[in-house]
């Protein structure tokens, strides 16, 4: 196959989703160019992921950095248009639902370059979430839509997308997880916090709806403070969240252990041996389902319903009482074990590249 594939990453969640595709294309010696928009640029949120996931260095680094949604999206579009004009790719592959995903899909579509969307069809049905807008736009601009669960196909068909464009391939994030989790656990990342396996919880918190309003953020941290008295909780703090906590004067209990964002292997090692996870992330809902770790999602909706029906995830929103009751249930062992969803088997990238090759034949 001589067609040129352009793979684009931009933010931390993209790396785990796109790494298996990049590596499978490389294994089959299919020409590709890897573009990093630079939406996430901090070492622990960007460069170290390339190193630990075994990804090649980006061929093109756009360096857009942080900004408002509009300015960041505009800068990505302007810079990526030049890449397309210079490299002339035959297919642009994007993943997930960050601003880079939408911006790149828009540019490619207007240049009449086919777009493939990895992790297509997920819907929270909450348009207040910028990610929802990004994923909807990317899906409707794509020629190849790679879904992770059955709900993805159902959502896309309801929105009028042609059936032949939709391919149920499984979950690339799970490909990365299954490939690296054993090595991650052997690193014993809990030792850095003087903890032992299953003796701690793990918290992530970054969504604007949770961290931007002190009236929501403060009660959330207060309930986690209370929970941590019975179960120490490690909290890798997103830069945005740390800034909001400092601005609001929010205090944390000594048993709520704050640290900087963790490298991929350290994080999944900690997650694999956690007693429970509290999060407002989408991908972590999937990873905990595979790892069979109880997950409390600090949101009122999820775009990943399979983690509720088959997995270990439950929605608790921002209700302190519901959070505390759920933690008590977990500590008593009263929590569903869940099962791994179909095609979450470490072979999603193989199926994706099979489809890409078939398209160009």
How confident is the model over 214-255, as pLDDT tens digits?
A: 999 999 999 999 999 999 999 999 888 999 999 999 999 999
Average pLDDT, stretch 105-124? 98
pLDDT band at 40 (very low <50, low <70, confident <90, very high): low
Average pLDDT, stretch 195-207? 97
Per-residue pLDDT at 319 exceeds 80: yes
Q: Residue 227: give its domain's CATH number.
A: 3.40.50.2000
Would you state the pLDDT for residue 127? 93
Residues written for the chain: 361
CB of 327 within 8 A of CB of 231? yes
Would you state the pLDDT for residue 321? 96
312 in the same domain as 237? yes
Would you state the pLDDT for residue 39? 73
209 in the same domain as 318? yes
228 in the same domain as 107? no
211 in the same domain as 190? yes
Per-residue pLDDT at 21 exceeds 70: yes
28 inside domain: yes
Please state which of the ranges 18-32, 63-77, 337-351 shows the lowest mean pLDDT.
63-77
Q: Which residue shows structure tokens 């579009």?
A: 77
Per-residue pLDDT at 115 exceeds 90: yes
338 inside domain: no
80 inside domain: yes
Q: What are the φ/ψ torsions at residue 17 (nearest 5 degrees)? A: -80, -35
CA pseudo-torsion sign 304, 309, 311, 315: positive
d(CA 256, CA 233): 5
Average pLDDT, stretch 203-216? 94
Please state which of the ranges 49-53, 129-133, 145-149, 256-260 shows the lowest mean pLDDT.
49-53
Show the tokens assigned to 228. Answer: 């941590």
pLDDT band at 47 (very low <50, low <70, confident <90, very high): confident
122 in the same domain as 213? no
183 in the same domain as 163? no
158 in the same domain as 265? no
CA-nearest of 253, 256, 215 to 237 is 256
Could you tell me how many helices (H) and strands (E) the chain has, helices first?
Answer: 15, 13
Give residue 159's domain range.
5-171+344-360
200 in the same domain as 105? no
218 in the same domain as 141? no
Q: So which residues are the catalytic ones? A: 206
164 in the same domain as 195? no
Would you state the pLDDT for residue 361? 85
Per residue in 60-113, pLDDT (tens digit) is 999 888 888 999 999 999 999 999 999 999 999 999 999 999 999 999 999 999
CB of 56 within 8 A of CB of 26? yes
Angle at 6 between CA 5 and CA 11, to 5 degrees: 140
β-strand pairing of 276-279 with 201-203: parallel
336 inside domain: no
Residues 6+ apart with CB under 8 A from 331: 230, 231, 275, 276
Average pLDDT along the chain:
95
97 inside domain: yes
Would you state the pLDDT for residue 130? 92
Show the tokens assigned to 238. Answer: 């997103």
Average pLDDT, stretch 333-339? 94
pTM: 0.95
d(CA 8, CA 58): 9
Per-residue pLDDT at 209 exceeds 80: yes
339 inside domain: no
183 in the same domain as 167? no
Phi-psi region of 58 (alpha: psi -120 to 50; beta: other; left: phi over 0): beta
Q: Within its chain, how far is the Cα of 99 from the centroid? A: 13
Would you state the pLDDT for residue 147? 98
d(CA 227, CA 277): 12
Would you state the pLDDT for residue 84? 98
What does each C-alpha distance from 179 to 11, 191, 206, 347 come to in angstroms? 20, 22, 26, 10
The total domain count for the chain is 2
337 inside domain: no
Would you state the pLDDT for residue 33? 98
289 in the same domain as 207? yes
């Amino acid at each position: 196959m001589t067609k040129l594939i352009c793979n684009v990453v931009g933010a931390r969640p993209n790396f785990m989703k796109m790494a298996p595709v990049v590596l499978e294309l490389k294994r089959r010696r299919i020409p590709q160019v890897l573009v990093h928009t630079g939406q996430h640029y901090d070492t622990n949120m960007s460069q170290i992921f390339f190193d630990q996931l075994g990804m090649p260095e980006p061929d093109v680094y756009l360096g857009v950095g942080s900004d408002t949604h509009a300015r960041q999206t505009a800068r990505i579009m302007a810079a990526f248009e030049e890449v397309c004009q210079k490299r002339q790719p035959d297919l642009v592959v994007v993943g997930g639902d960050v601003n880079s995903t939408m911006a790149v899909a828009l540019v490619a579509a207007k240049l009449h370059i086919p777009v493939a969307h990895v992790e297509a069809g997920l819907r929270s049905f909450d348009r207040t979430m910028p990610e929802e807008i990004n994923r909807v736009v990317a899906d409707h601009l794509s020629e190849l839509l790679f879904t992770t669960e059955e709900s993805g196909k159902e959502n896309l068909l309801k929105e009028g997308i042609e059936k032949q464009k939709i391919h149920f391939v499984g979950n690339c994030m799970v490909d990365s997880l299954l490939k690296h989790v054993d090595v991650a656990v052997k690193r014993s990342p809990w030792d850095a916090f003087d903890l032992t396996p299953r003796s701690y919880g793990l918290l992530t918190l970054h969504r604007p709806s949770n961290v931007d309003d002190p009236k929501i953020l403060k009660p959330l941290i207060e309930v986690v403070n209370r929970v941590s008295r019975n179960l120490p909780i490690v909290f890798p703090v997103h830069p945005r969240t740390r800034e909001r906590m400092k601005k609001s004067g929010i205090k944390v209990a000594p048993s709520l252990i704050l640290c900087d964002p963790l490298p991929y292997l350290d994080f999944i090692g900690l997650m694999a041996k956690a007693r429970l996870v509290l999060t407002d992330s989408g991908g972590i809902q999937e990873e905990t389902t595979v790892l069979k770790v109880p997950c409390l999602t600090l949101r009122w909706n999820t775009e990943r319903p399979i983690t509720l029906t088959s997995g270990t995830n439950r929605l608790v929103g921002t209700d302190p009482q519901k959070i505390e009751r759920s933690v008590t249930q977990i500590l008593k062992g009263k929590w569903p074990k869940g099962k791994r969803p179909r095609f979450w088997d470490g072979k999603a990238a193989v199926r994706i590249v099979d489809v890409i090759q078939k398209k160009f034949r």
